[in-house]
Amino acid sequence: MAKPKRKLTAAEKRARRERKKKYQIVFMNGKQVRVLRQLTIDGLPLDEFIARNADPIWLHQNEMWEFMGPADDDEPLME
């Protein structure tokens, strides 16, 4: 007769929850592999959050020019 399964301890449950938050399981070459989850803020991926909320000066200071939109040539330059 097979040995019955035992219940997980509180520490094992806590560790399992932490692993699920930190990693996701994907298939690579036909095998399941744990990979780090993408960072999110309010449910948005980090790049999308920055693109929506950052102002052009902050983007320039942090060298994130790929998120900056096209320059508006209609605005007058400072005199």
45 within some domain = yes
Counting residues of the chain whose pLDDT is more than 90, the rounded percentage is 44
48 within some domain = yes
State the alpha helices, DSSP H only, in the chain.
10-22, 46-53, 56-61
pLDDT in tens, 33-47: 999 998 888 888 888
Nearest residue to 16 via CA among 42, 34, 39: 34
- pTM as predicted: 0.52
28 within some domain = no
Asked if 24 and 39 touch (Cβ cutoff 8 Å), the reply is no
17 within some domain = no
4 within some domain = no
pLDDT at 61: 87
34 within some domain = no
Query: Which domain does 65 fall in, by range?
Result: 39-70
> Quick one: 72 exposed, middle or buried, by C-beta within 10 A (0-12, 13-18, 19+)?
exposed
Asked if 47 and 41 touch (Cβ cutoff 8 Å), the reply is no
